[in-house]
Structure 1
Amino acid sequence: MGTGAVENSYEDRCRRSLAEEQAKSLADTNDWEHVDRQRVHQDWDVLYREITASLDEGSLPEDPQIQELVRRHFDIVSRFYTPSREAYLGMSLFYAEDEAMRAFHDSYHPKMVEFMGAAIKVFAQQGSGFAPSTGAEASA
């Protein structure tokens, strides 16, 4: 992402995309009744433990093994709905800005939120499989 007002504007679009796409998905799926939430939480727990081990080993967000872990994260998210690139970036912002989400993720590792944010940014720049954008240009 850029700097200053451009970055803030793009981040705002990402936050908006996340909110809009989740609201639409919740409405369309009767509050995600199709999702096996217990399984999702188990899968996220396994994944976050793997990311923690990688963090402790000195892995970087752009490392191929980390990007594979982020792909798994995206796949878990996609059990709810397939986010656009902007909504997925918005999710990393939500992890950082929401106190409960930050505490949850950082309970695995004190650098988890920042690391995931950086890794998700790399994934979004390189990745495919995103839903069509909600109108924000993919300029991450």
Structure 2
Amino acid sequence: MNTKSENYLNECRAALSSEQTHSLAITANWAHVDKQKVHADWDELYREMVPVIGVLLPSAEPVQALIAEHYRIVSRFYKPSKKAYIGMSLFYGEDQDMMKFHNGYHRNMVPFLAQAISIYAEANL
């Protein structure tokens, strides 16, 4: 369960939107990113995550190592701030296509990512 205030979560949503819009504008819609490679790397990462969902806490060191890799993949597009990265985890649960995609790996992938990303962002960004 998320214990952050709705105001803070709205700030995170706004940070994601602002940072992505800026990044898209200055990079010709992320022309520098090998999107096929990124999606292959995310697929591999999410497959590594599946066995730990429901077994390890999102704060567990092995989970946080996986989230560090997630952040490295995201950073191929741009380096999101703490709030934008948390905003991304919210987006995964609020956008139907993103929720369907992520939960296609595991029915609890989205809430697991939301908790794990929040912990990682607070500790590292």
Gap runs ≥5 in structure 2:
none
Give 4+ residue runs of structure 1 displaced > 6 Å after superposition.
Answer: none
Q: Larger % of helix: which?
A: 2
Task: Number of aligned residue pairs: give it.
Answer: 124
What's the TM-score once normalised by structure 1's chain length? 0.86
Offset, 1:124:
1.1
Partner of 2:16: 18
Identity, % of aligned positions: 47
Offset, 1:55:
1.5
Partner of 1:104: 101
Bigger Rg over Cα: 1
Gap runs ≥5 in structure 1:
129-140
Q: Distance in 2 between matches of 1:65 and 1:93?
A: 22
Q: Report the AA paired with residue 52 of structure 2.
A: S
What is the alpha-carbon root mean square deviation over aligned residues? Answer: 1.1
Offset, 1:2:
4.3
> For residues 70-128 of structure 1, what are the alpha-carbon distances to aligned partners after superposition, in whole Å with 9 as ceiling and x for unaligned?
00000000000000000000000000100000000000000000000000011011114
1:1-140 paired onto structure 2 within 5 Å? 2=3, 7-55=5-53, 58-128=55-125
What's the TM-score once normalised by structure 2's chain length? 0.96
